[in-house]
Amino acid sequence: MPHPADQQDEFPVDDRTDAADPADVSASSDANAEEGDDVEALRSELEQAKDRSLRLQAELENFRARTRREMEEERRFAALPLIRDLLPALDNVARAIDAAEKEGDTAGLLDGFKMVAEQLASILARHDCRRIDALHQPFDPHLHEAITQQPSQDHPPGTVLLVAQEGYELAGRVVRPAQVIVSVAPPSE
């Protein structure tokens, strides 16, 4: 039996080496380097995008908090202009009371309170708060609250005969309905 070392290879020997062509290796390493640079650039962009996103989220939260604080403060002090306008009327009430106590004259007190009432109506009108005109008007359940009914021959049924308490509306919205007495047809005899 022949020795394996004495046998010749049945396959032809390829004189080429397994080593790659230097040009191919250089191109491959350049491609790998470019891919590595691209990956690094993408990672850098991703980090910058994450950073921008976090900053924008923080800015948005700060904006929301600031807006919430401003709205709460605005609500808390919304009546400030009205109160500033009412204070002089309150001062006039105090002056009228003082004058009535000193003089003992109720006519002066009545005149003082009439002036204060006019001043208060003027202040409310400046703030778009108006008295609901109800007397001798048709009853409107959106503007009036009927406290009782009264037979009347002088007015058609459903007419406001008497205003027990004035009603007011603010910018077209009812603040307080007028409390009224409404006419009904007189009983037939």
User: 18-39 burial, b for 16+ CB within 10 Å, e for fewer?
Assistant: eeeeeeeeeeeeeeeeeeeeee
Report which residue type is found at 155.
H
Q: What is the pTM of this model?
A: 0.54
Residue 112 lies in a domain: no
Structural domain for 136, as ranges: 130-189
Of 128, 160, 120, 122, nearest to 143 by C-alpha is 160
Per residue in 117-172, pLDDT (tens digit) is 888 888 888 888 888 999 999 999 999 999 999 999 999 999 999 999 989 888 88
Residue 150 lies in a domain: yes
- Strand stretches in the chain, DSSP E: 129-131, 144-151, 160-165, 168-170, 173-176, 178-184
In the DSSP assignment, the letter for residue 11 is S
Q: What is the CATH number of the domain that holds 158?
A: 2.30.22.10
Burial class (CB in 10 A: 0-12, 13-18, 19+), 183: buried
Rounded to 5 degrees, what angle do the CA atoms 135, 139, 140 make?
115
pLDDT above 90: percentage of residues in the chain: 39
Residue 32 lies in a domain: no
Residue 84 contacts residue 97 (beta carbons within 8 Å): no
Residue 123 lies in a domain: no
Residue 155 lies in a domain: yes
Q: How many domains does the chain have?
A: 1
Report which residue type is found at 115.
M
Residue 168 lies in a domain: yes
Residue 181 lies in a domain: yes
Q: What is the pLDDT of residue 18?
A: 52
What average pLDDT does the structure give for the chain?
82
Residue 169 lies in a domain: yes
Distances (CA, A) of 62 to 47, 69, 73, 114, 156: 22, 11, 16, 52, 63
Per residue in 2-33, pLDDT (tens digit) is 555 555 555 555 555 555 555 555 556 666 77
CA distance 65 to 39: 39
CB atoms within 10 A of CB 134: 23
